Chain A
């Protein structure tokens, strides 16, 4: 045991000695909590506050009440961004079943499978900037692999990133690539821990295939599914890098999402509208808050059962 080798008395004064149990956590927490309050919690409050001002980032902010929010209601670009966010949210969830499918496919014991698994995971490790670049070449109308394949089968060229009705889907597919890899690794770990006795018992009862998957395996994968859900939702709402790299919001702003639109409004060459940007960010935050509340509630239910 490690503790037997340690000195027993540290000569602390009586008051500290008596209140040690109460003081210690405060001291351990202090640096982390201060940093976090300063850079994360306090700025959230500041953004809320700023959304009631008009401010170009240089002069004095002017209080305008809810004017920014009123303007949002009639802002066509905001509406487009909202819809795109919804598409991201829904379609990004496809990463979960896709990840499960690949995990099931790879959950075997054959030679080299470990290497295969880590290579399948590869896209997640690469920066989204590179993923965006790779996919914009894949979609390129003049030489992109997609159009080579399409023309091979006799279809016409498709300019995915130049077509306002396709562009968001094109970017989402690029985003699904690393996200599926992430979900896959979660499920591979989950499948590893599936109780073999239950599987055998179900097999004896004649369960197999999809029925087995749905009634025996998936319920046991619940923790993995929960995490996959959390990270996928967050990933969908944070989508920024891919849009910025692949289309810069275009064509005609049709691939914007709230996070991108906010950035554009607050920091682009079209003028610094910090207050308006903050209002967009607040809307995004409120959407996220629904999910955060749900995540925290789930974690709280878990905690109640714990120590």
Chain B
């Protein structure tokens, strides 16, 4: 193990380390802690200049209550759910199949197709912006959640296929060969042999894509406008325009907007990290 385990060094240093870690953490998360404290402050604290001091009163319920009951925030949140969940399902489904095809079969152009997905996934969004916006307008899907979902599914399929294909490659190939010798149809091999083994990859990808799409801002701005279809990342900017200088409400709104992916991360931590770090170890 590197660095040398702390238990093997002097007790004094071990104790210092134990104290150092939480201090470093507080420093690291200071901006977030500030927002969390902001969100429970009463508005007088901001007019009297008590920005960084202790809240003069606890107004958490009032502030969050306002976000939930007196603003468009719940609509934005619900829009985000309606955009994120179908995207996750669509992208994972498409990439399971594509990844299976690329990972299991040998055919001409296999690597070429695979690299098309990989390269497309690295492309800067901006080169897609004008044509995709145009396409969405032509389909009559501008400013709809469907338009956003369709694009997200297509784009995320690139990353997901890269992920799935590499995962399937690492599975024991003998299983598939054994099934083939028995004369099992290919789609049955996919459904009954490979898919059950892909559960960890599906879980990892689902949480990752959930976070990516929930946090997407660029496409939300390009393809939607207004509370009827905008997700929460875009909604938070209009929320903030509405409550300009009301820092306690802006903070509460931001925390609400950021919470679902955070909850997802903590609930599915193992899968999340497994997904992010796939390929980081040989």
Contact = CB atoms under 8 A, between A and B. Distances in A.
Interface of A: 1-4, 6-10, 12, 20-22, 24-26, 28-29, 31-33, 35-36, 38-44, 46-47, 50, 57, 104-110, 113, 116, 118-123, 125-130, 133-135, 137-138, 143, 145, 148, 177, 182, 185-187, 189-194, 196, 199, 208, 212-213, 216-217, 223-224, 227, 230, 234, 237-238, 240-241, 244-245, 258-259, 262-263, 266-267, 274, 277-278, 280-282, 284-285, 288, 291-292, 295-296, 299-300, 303, 306-307
B69 interface: no
Given A8-B183, A134-B32, A137-B34, A244 B111 contact: no
Given A245-B237, A262-B129, A296-B118, A237 B124 contact: yes
A134 B124 contact: no
The 4 A-B pairs of least Cβ separation, nearest first, read A39-B154, A32-B98, A43-B131, A28-B101
B199 interface: no
B122 A295 contact: yes
Contact of B111 (A143, A291, A303): A303
A6 B133 CA distance: 47
B186 A20 contact: yes
Given A32-B161, A105-B21, A296-B118, 4 more contacts: A122-B32, A137-B35, A223-B279, A263-B126
B257 A130 contact: yes
B280 A145 contact: no
Q: How large is the interface on B (under 10, 10 to 19, 20 to 34, 35 or more residues)?
A: 35 or more
Interface of B: 1-7, 14, 17-18, 21-22, 24-25, 28-32, 34-35, 49, 51-52, 94-95, 97-98, 100-102, 104-105, 107, 110-111, 113, 115-120, 122-135, 150-151, 153-155, 157-158, 161, 169, 173, 175, 178-179, 182-190, 192-193, 196, 211, 214-215, 217-218, 221-222, 233, 236-237, 240, 247, 250, 254, 257-258, 261-262, 264-266, 269, 273, 276-277, 279-282
A29 B280 contact: no
A190 B5 CA distance: 17
A295 B126 CA distance: 20
A32 B93 CA distance: 9
A227 B279 contact: yes
Contacts of A288: 122-124
Contact of A125 (B150, B190, B247, B261): B261
B239 to A, nearest CB: 11
A39 B130 CA distance: 12
A119 B25 contact: yes
Given A126-B258, A241-B217, A36 B157 contact: yes
Contact of A189 (B151, B193, B277): B277
A134 B35 contact: yes
30 contacts: A1-B175, A2-B179, A3-B175, A3-B179, A4-B182, A21-B105, A29-B101, A29-B113, A31-B98, A39-B128, A40-B154, A43-B135, A104-B2, A108-B5, A125-B258, A126-B215, A127-B217, A133-B240, A134-B31, A182-B276, A186-B276, A186-B277, A193-B281, A238-B125, A241-B217, A262-B129, A281-B129, A291-B122, A292-B122, A292-B123
Nearest to A55: B130
B29 to A, nearest CB: 6
Given A36-B158, A108-B5, A277 B130 contact: yes
User: Chain B interface secondary structure, helix, strand, loop or mixed?
Assistant: helix
Contacts of B193: 2-3
B131 A42 contact: yes
Contacts of B254: 129-130, 133-134
Contacts of A263: 126, 129, 218, 222
Given A107-B2, A126-B261, A288-B124, A133 B217 contact: no
A70 B276 CA distance: 42
A6 B184 contact: yes
Given A145-B34, A193-B281, A35 B153 contact: yes
Given A40-B158, A105-B24, A107-B1, A129 B233 contact: yes
Contacts of B111: 300, 303
